[in-house]
Amino acid sequence: MVTATHEASHRLFQEHPEALAPVFEALGLPPPVKTDFHELSPDVTEIRPMERRADTVLMFEPDMGEHFVLAVEAQTKKDPEKARSWAYYVAYLHAKYGLPVLLVVVCRDRSTAAWAMGPFDCAVDPWTTQITRPFVLGPQTVPEVTDKAVVAQQPALAALSAIVHSGGRRTAAILETVAHGLMAFEPDTTKYWFEVVEVGLESTSAKKNWRKLMQDVITHFPGHGTLFEEKYLEGKAEGEAKGILRVLEVRGLPLSDDVRQRILTCTDLDRLNDWLDRSGTVERAEDLFTEEEPAA
């Protein structure tokens, strides 16, 4: 079953294969560069007797050095059937592309990560026909990012660290570092990484803390007119305006186009809060604005 963690892993490694840095370091290879990768079809079905699909499949083609195929999978629990599927993925991709295949498995849970390291044997004692040994990106192999400078330099690795260590003892420190470190980027980039981490945390208890951090960071410099703050306040204002209109509609009060437009275009949260408080008692929708009219 495709989970949110699978989706986050899929997007992360598709769009930012540089997150594979711990793998390349362990293999003694130079840090991965995005331009050395291109995406391959994740479909590993033959004649379609049974659909099989890896999370992400990438071709690593540096100008210098060995080319190989990477199959990236996210795994949230131990699953012997999945281990058999991995052996199939490796054999199929090796046969299809004629290149070595590296299987990388991403795990949040420490015990699942230990299991996923294998090796998984296909053997008729005493003869072993095939051995599958995934490289696991989990709490044991992904560094705990607690330095904002690292977040600014390697946001993909930082996002992976936040997801992988979501059940550890230093989760709070990692999440706080990553959240504040991501603010070094342009607002759209920050928003992207915030969402990657949020989706990757899925149903963990850390997700609630991450959402709280997102809100705190967005409003960390109130009144400075940052684009992030503007977008956040715009969203709040829109929600307040819709709430006011809903109260007036439920009460059956007629709403002219002018009244509706005035409420919807207001961005003053204090004024909107006042209108919301009085929307339940005014006799006419227009009365919301009476106290604002200048004295004659």
pLDDT digits (tens, 9 = 90+) for 233-271: 677 788 889 999 999 999 999 999 999 999 999 988 888
Query: What would the DSSP string read from start to end of 175-230?
Result: HHHHHHHGGGS-HHHHHHHHHHHHHHHTTSTHHHHHHHHHHHHHTSSTTS--HHHH
**Would you say 178 and 149 are in contact if contact means Cβ atoms under 8 Å apart?**
no
Percent above pLDDT 90 for the chain: 49
**Among 224, 238, 175, 240, which Cα is nearest to 204's?**
175
Question: Both tokens of residue 77?
Answer: 């629990």
Q: Evaluate if residue 294 carries a pLDDT over 60.
A: no
pLDDT of residue 44: 59
Lowest-confidence segment of 67-76, 169-178, 207-216 by average pLDDT? 207-216
Q: Evaluate if residue 224 carries a pLDDT over 80.
A: no
pLDDT of residue 219: 54
Strand 68-74, strand 127-132: pairing: unpaired
Confidence bin at 49 (pLDDT 50/70/90) = very low
Q: Evaluate if residue 1 carries a pLDDT over 60.
A: no
pTM for this model (two decimals) = 0.69
Residues 279 and 107: their CA atoms lie apart, in Å, by 50
What is the CATH topology of the domain spanning 4-137? Trna Endonuclease; Chain: A, domain 1 (3.40.1350)
Q: Delimit the domains of the chain by residue range.
A: 4-137, 148-218, 227-291
pLDDT of residue 5: 63
